[in-house]
Chains A and B, each alone.
Chain A
Amino acid sequence: MTRMNRRTLLKSAAGAGGLAAASAVIGTPLIAQDRSLKIGSYGGYFENSFKEFVYPAFTEATGIAVESVTQPNSTDWLVTMTQATKAGNVPADVSLYGRDSLIKASRIGGLLAPLDKSKMAATSNLDPYFVFEDSTGPIGVGAMSWFSAMVINPGEVEAPASWTEFWDSSTYEASLGLSKNYNSQFLDIVAATYFDGAETLSTKDGIMAVIEKAAEIKPNVALWWSAESQMEQAMKNGDVIGGQYYLDVANLMAADGFPIKPIFPKEGNPQDYGSWCLSAISDKGDEAAAFMDFSSDPATQALMSRKIGTAPLVAQSMTDLTDEEFAMVSGAPSIKPAYEAYLDNETFIKENWDKMLAGA
């Protein structure tokens, strides 16, 4: 199959989604599968790839039918699921949450069901960091991960060796695109580049020092993007010549001939990941365990890397990914975001970050 970029896939998403929904409704009673599972994932390209490649393989392996549910993202979905749980009827059994939303759900309480690890032997392939446990037990199993990487326009500038070069106004004045959200990991980049990493963000003084350093880059930022597509367009149009963007999309865009190149500078790039979580009021515990077991299998991890562009949560050596395939989706070193700090001092970080952006 020829490589489709995210844009073309998005265009066909609506049609394909409708078809898939129709076939699920028509197909289910005919096959008479009595075991089924509703699984949420981020809509568009992402969800379509799951419906096309991952869910069919799972159904084939276990006989459990999957009904795909569209999530807008993690945070909005958490709002939806909180309200749905209160109402006693949830739209999905298994949801996909970023680690921050997962911790938040754990702190809100009563939203996620503890999982039985004995029914998910394959989770032993994952680094323990990716199986999240709180006081009720394991509540999230790592699904896939993604990097938000340094990108540059290779036609305009040389590849920087360090993030510090982005602070240099002689090259980058009014030319960078960075994410506007306080927790989209730019603070983690600053902390890893100029301070002691996540540890610095654990105190209010540390947070202020990091935000002050981040403020120094403002004259070089032409775009503080809030939607992924803004940064995509800005890189394509040359409105910006560098910044922070998703590694997999950057690689896809580069393969399509656009002037973008992802870089792993010496400090590394932030790595975030998504987890499968079971709703507290779902009665599909066994089916969910079967799915998470399947998802943690190195073969499934490699399948997702190839078809969806996510980084595997197992070592490259466990999979059959080639070095070239692995470099498309992953890299080193990885910066681990200070998730707990963002939650412990949520209002403080958000307000001071916004103040920094607003110059107020």
Chain B
Amino acid sequence: MTLASDHDTAPQVGDLAPKNSLPSGETLIRGLIWAVVLFLCLTPFLLVFAISFGHKVEGASWVWGFSLDNYKRVFVGAEWPDNVTFLYLQKLWYSLYYAVIAAILAVITAFPFTYFMTGLSRRAQAAWLVFILSSLSLSEVFIVMGWDVLLSNRSGLPMLFKVSGATQWLKDVGWFDTLRDWGLANPRNVKFKTSVFATVLTMAYLVWPYAVILLYPPLSRLDRSTVEAAQTMGAGPWTVMRTVILPSVRLPLVGSMLLLFVFLLGVYVAVTVFAEPAKQTMAVSVYEAVRGNTLNAPFGSAQAMILLVTAAVFLGLGQWLSRRNA
């Protein structure tokens, strides 16, 4: 409580003095900061929104205009009504699919790790946090390259399968053909690229440090005495987790998942490297439209707007659900 009362008094002292002498100057600066922030946030957004109504010139570039054709194309394809395709909705589906699975995977694996970490000594906690923060400096490209090598035929996991005899064993027991049906093997050896497995794995790995950092504050604030009280009253570890720990960190857990989910919607490198074209996402399609050979920025913008609206809907749903259950 002392901390809170400190906060209550401190701003009053600071606020009174300048307000009496220079009220207009401060308002001006505040207004200016707001204007800059709004400008920086809204301009790119409005630009993309405006471009999304533009018109593509076949074989050349695009021109400004006002048509809803680009949005229509996202839902039914360019040749509608002669031909209908859900190609872009399929890409949107994979955007959501990877992001949801990878976000959940990252949070449920980071949760026990962070929980045990907060039980360590201050020194050990600091060491872990520094290590995890420094791993954030690895870019997406770097991480994808690392996993690319780890999953490669001659230098990674498939090599291990072959050398250890696991490949031969799989062939002997007949499971190898099942793997081939699943696209996880060629006639010579197992293969993990390209696959949903590799894509989700890399994406979860990519955001795992963020998950730890997001979960660390609520878990370190968790009152351990409630856990001890439950234990002295005879609750087993699973009961403690279910009835004491999880309910008290439910909101941060859901919040972390939503944040990572939105972050993962835009992943580009991991998807282009590890997902086959049939299972690539809308982020890749946006890039191809804007910077690719067609120079179709309006169509790319329309897809970006749809992706944005989808993310907003999911965030709103998440908020609504967590508020309803709170």
Contact = CB atoms under 8 A, between A and B. Distances in A.
Contacts of A222: 186, 191, 193-194
A355 B187 contact: no
B152 A233 contact: yes
B277 A354 contact: yes
A223 B59 contact: no
A210 B153 CA distance: 32
Contacts of A316: none
B222 interface: no
A288 B183 CA distance: 53
A357 B194 CA distance: 14
B85 interface: yes
Contact of A174 (B56, B87, B183, B292): B183
The secondary-structure label for the interface of chain A is helix
B16 interface: no
Size bracket, chain A contacts: 35 or more
A82 B6 CA distance: 58
A344 interface: yes
A237 interface: yes
A145 to B, nearest CB: 19
Interface in A181-200: 181-183
Contacts of A236: 154
Nearest to A78: B295
A133 interface: no
Contacts of B19: none
The secondary-structure label for the interface of chain B is loop
Interface stretch (A17-25, A52-60, A88-96, A102-110): A102-110
Contacts of A357: 277-278
A346 interface: yes
Contacts of B85: 351, 355, 360
Given A358-B87, A358-B277, A108 B154 contact: no
A358 B183 contact: no
A354 B285 CA distance: 10
Interface in B145-179: 148, 152-155
B191 A174 contact: yes
Given A100-B293, A343-B58, A173 B187 contact: yes
Contacts of A78: 295
Contact of B293 (A174, A183, A239): A183
A146 B60 CA distance: 24
Contacts of B191: 174, 222, 239
B79 A351 contact: yes
Contacts of A359: 278
A348 B293 contact: no
Interface string A134-158: 0000000000000000000000100
B116 interface: no
Interface of A: 75-76, 78-79, 82, 100, 103-104, 107-108, 156, 173-175, 180-183, 222-224, 226-227, 230, 233, 236-239, 343-348, 350-351, 354-355, 357-360
Given A79-B291, A108-B57, A354-B277, 13 more contacts: A75-B293, A79-B295, A108-B61, A173-B187, A174-B186, A239-B193, A344-B58, A348-B78, A350-B293, A358-B91, A359-B278, A360-B85, A360-B278
* The 3 A-B residue pairs with the shortest CB-CB distance in the complex, in nearest-first order: A343-B59, A357-B277, A174-B186
